């Protein structure tokens, strides 16, 4: 069974503690709901991916880019820099966070299927490492911005290698019905190669592929690597030069449930290295600098959400069985993944042990909506009561980052905990904040 908690979370006398601070104390000091972020765990995971890349690829290692979309704030951007890794941003807003953290532009990669001219211009001006190109229009926009800035902008082309991977299953199709990238199979990828080469203001450094999310096995990565490297071979054949970089994206899965067994960084990247080396040999290429983009795999397991239970209600189902509805003081505004993707989580009573028999339960939020569900099906102790604290692990990725103010519910803070000390790094919204845009 996998551990769904961060490294420095544990249970003492039945109470959850993070870095030695009991959940009850965290709730008393910071209120609920709150995201608690295990800072050392985050830093260690970032370091582990970096080490895995360097161990597996040595001098051919490129950059680990932390995918900011999973969760980013100014303080976390500082940690990313301190880890010595890069940052992947996909909007001007994420770039603004990076700049507020004084993140070096030379270690920033810019993504996005529809970057605005303003976003491109700013990225070029500040000197980001790489722009990952997603459409033919964008090639012209980057060239114009680089020309205006008197620069040569390094780019990768985002390609769709015809593989889609989700968790356990992966599908390899000839084409991909997605908004991202240039299809290799349709010839769009090659067309983009030719288009980029027309611009002296753009330096094509290589290709980029991203095949999915929450992936728990390596087979799809291996097929994707082979297809992307095949195109590097075609490029070499056509132009007599090897492109120096290949970004194989992110998508590495984590444990939401104890039955989700993720790959460790060393195992995942070790397997990737075998596939990359085999493909490079097959196409008679040197190994390019290999970059990866873990986001969820770094921040996901490092955070849990702490809620307070407000009500419970036993509802009689049609079968005659009952379901205990446990309402918490947050919900779909701080975790939309359950209703959006059917995502699954576990939860535990964080403030005490219970020997009460467990009951078929559903954890719901406080929103005025039937679909406002945090955990659809879970067995929880029958004595769970208002005032109990409920902790949901593995909420670091796409929890706070996708949070809304639906029903004018204030978004929860993120509290970093390390060495027995807890501090707010993203504060809770206030009533004034909720009214701050009214004119």
* Positions 346 through 365 that interact with its own copies (CB under 8 A): 362, 364-365
Window contacting its own copies (CB under 8 A); options: 199-207, 262-270, 280-288, 418-426: 418-426
Window contacting its own copies (CB under 8 A); options: 10-18, 262-270, 305-313, 345-353: 305-313
Among 14, 258, 386, 420, binds its own copies (CB under 8 A): 386
If phi over 0 gives left and psi between -120 and 50 gives alpha, with beta otherwise, what is residue 347?
beta
Count other C-beta atoms under 10 Å from residue 389's C-beta.
22
Q: Is 421 in the site for its own copies (CB under 8 A)?
A: no
Which residues in 132-161 contact its own copies (CB under 8 A)?
A: 134-138
Measure the CA–CA gap between 258 and 364, rounded to whole angstroms.
21
Q: Is 334 in the site for its own copies (CB under 8 A)?
A: no
How many CA atoms does the CB half-sphere of 370 hold within 13 Å?
A: 0
Cβ–Cβ under 8 Å, residues 402 and 336: yes
Measure the CA–CA gap between 256 and 259, rounded to whole angstroms.
8
Among 366, 389, 396, 397, binds its own copies (CB under 8 A): 366
Q: Where are the alpha helices (DSSP H) in 134-206?
A: 136-149, 188-197
Q: Is 194 in the site for its own copies (CB under 8 A)?
A: no
Q: Which is nearer to its own copies, 94 or 245 (CB)?
A: 94
Window contacting its own copies (CB under 8 A); options: 47-55, 143-151, 347-355, 410-418: 410-418
Measure the CA–CA gap between 173 and 170, rounded to whole angstroms.
10
Window contacting its own copies (CB under 8 A); options: 195-203, 263-271, 282-290, 409-417: 409-417
Cβ–Cβ under 8 Å, residues 306 and 389: yes
The CA-to-CA distance between both ends of the chain, in Å, stands at 53
| Count of chain residues binding its own copies (CB under 8 A) | 88
Q: Is 209 in the site for its own copies (CB under 8 A)?
A: no
The verdict on whether 19 is a catalytic residue reads no
Measure the CA–CA gap between 330 and 343, rounded to whole angstroms.
17
CB of 38 to its own copies, least distance (A): 18
Cβ–Cβ under 8 Å, residues 297 and 49: yes
Tokens for 322, please give them.
């009952």
Asked, as a colleague might, if the bond just before 33 is cis with ω within 30 of 0, I would say yes
Q: At 307, phi and psi to the nearest 5?
A: -115, 160
Pairing of strands 21-22, 15-18: antiparallel
Q: Is 425 in the site for its own copies (CB under 8 A)?
A: yes
Binding track, positions 54-83, relative to its own copies; x by CB under 8 A: ---------------x--xxxx--------
Q: Which is nearer to its own copies, 13 or 318 (CB)?
A: 318
CA 308 to chain centre: 26
Q: Which is nearer to its own copies, 5 or 71 (CB)?
A: 71
If we measure between CA atoms, which residue out of 98, 157, 159 comes closest to residue 123? 98
Q: Is 13 in the site for its own copies (CB under 8 A)?
A: no
Binding track, positions 166-185, relative to its own copies; x by CB under 8 A: -------xxxxxxxx--x-x
Q: Which is nearer to its own copies, 419 or 433 (CB)?
A: 433
CB of 114 to its own copies, least distance (A): 4
Window contacting its own copies (CB under 8 A); options: 15-23, 85-93, 214-222, 232-240: 85-93
Cβ–Cβ under 8 Å, residues 65 and 110: no
How many CA atoms does the CB half-sphere of 90 hold within 13 Å?
A: 17
Q: Which is nearer to its own copies, 244 or 310 (CB)?
A: 310
Q: Is 130 in the site for its own copies (CB under 8 A)?
A: no
Which one of 19, 73, 90, 368 is the catalytic residue? 368
Task: Give me the active site residues, please.
Answer: 368
């Amino acid at each position: 069974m996998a551990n769904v908690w961060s490294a420095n979370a544990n249970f003492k006398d039945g109470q959850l503690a993070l870095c030695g601070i009991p959940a009850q104390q965290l709730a008393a000091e910071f209120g609920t709901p709150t995201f608690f972020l295990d800072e050392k765990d985050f830093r260690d995971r970032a370091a582990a991916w970096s080490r895995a890349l360097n161990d597996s690829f040595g001098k051919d290692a490129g950059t680990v880019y932390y995918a900011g979309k999973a969760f980013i704030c100014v303080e976390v951007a500082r940690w990313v820099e301190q880890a010595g890794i890069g940052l992947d941003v996909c909007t001007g807003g994420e770039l603004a966070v990076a700049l507020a953290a004084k993140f070096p532009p030379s270690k920033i990669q810019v993504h996005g299927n529809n970057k605005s001219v303003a976003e491109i211009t700013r990225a070029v001006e500040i000197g980001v490492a790489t722009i990952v190109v997603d459409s033919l229009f964008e090639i012209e926009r980057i060239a114009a911005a680089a020309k205006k800035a008197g620069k040569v902008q390094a780019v990768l082309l985002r390609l769709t290698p015809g593989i889609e991977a989700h968790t356990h299953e992966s599908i390899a199709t000839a084409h991909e019905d997605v908004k991202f990238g240039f299809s290799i199979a349709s010839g769009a990828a090659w067309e983009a190669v030719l288009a980029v080469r027309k611009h002296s203001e753009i330096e094509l450094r290589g290709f980029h592929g991203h095949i999915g999310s929450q992936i728990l096995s390596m087979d799809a990565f291996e097929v994707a690597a082979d297809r992307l490297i095949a195109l590097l071979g075609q490029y070499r054949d056509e132009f007599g030069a090897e492109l120096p970089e290949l970004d194989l994206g992110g998508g590495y899965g984590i444990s939401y449930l104890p039955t989700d067994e993720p790959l460790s960084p060393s195992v995942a990247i070790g397997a990737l290295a075998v596939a990359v080396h085999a493909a490079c040999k097959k196409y008679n290429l040197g190994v390019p600098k290999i970059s990866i983009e873990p986001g969820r795999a770094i921040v996901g397991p490092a955070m849990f959400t702490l809620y307070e239970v407000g009500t419970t209600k036993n509802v009689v189902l049609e079968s005659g069985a009952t379901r205990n509805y446990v309402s918490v003081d947050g919900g779909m505004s701080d975790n939309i993944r359950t209703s959006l993707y059917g995502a699954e989580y576990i939860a535990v009573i964080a403030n005490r042990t219970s020997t009460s028999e467990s009951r078929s339960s559903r954890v719901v939020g406080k929103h005025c909506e039937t679909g406002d569900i945090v955990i659809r099906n879970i067995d929880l102790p029958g004595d769970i009561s208002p005032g109990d604290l409920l902790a949901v692990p593995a909420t670091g990725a796409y929890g706070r980052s996708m949070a809304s103010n639906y029903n004018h519910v204030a978004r929860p803070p993120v509290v970093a905990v390390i060495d027995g000390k807890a501090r707010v790094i993203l504060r809770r919204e206030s009533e004034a904040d909720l009214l701050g845009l009214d004119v």
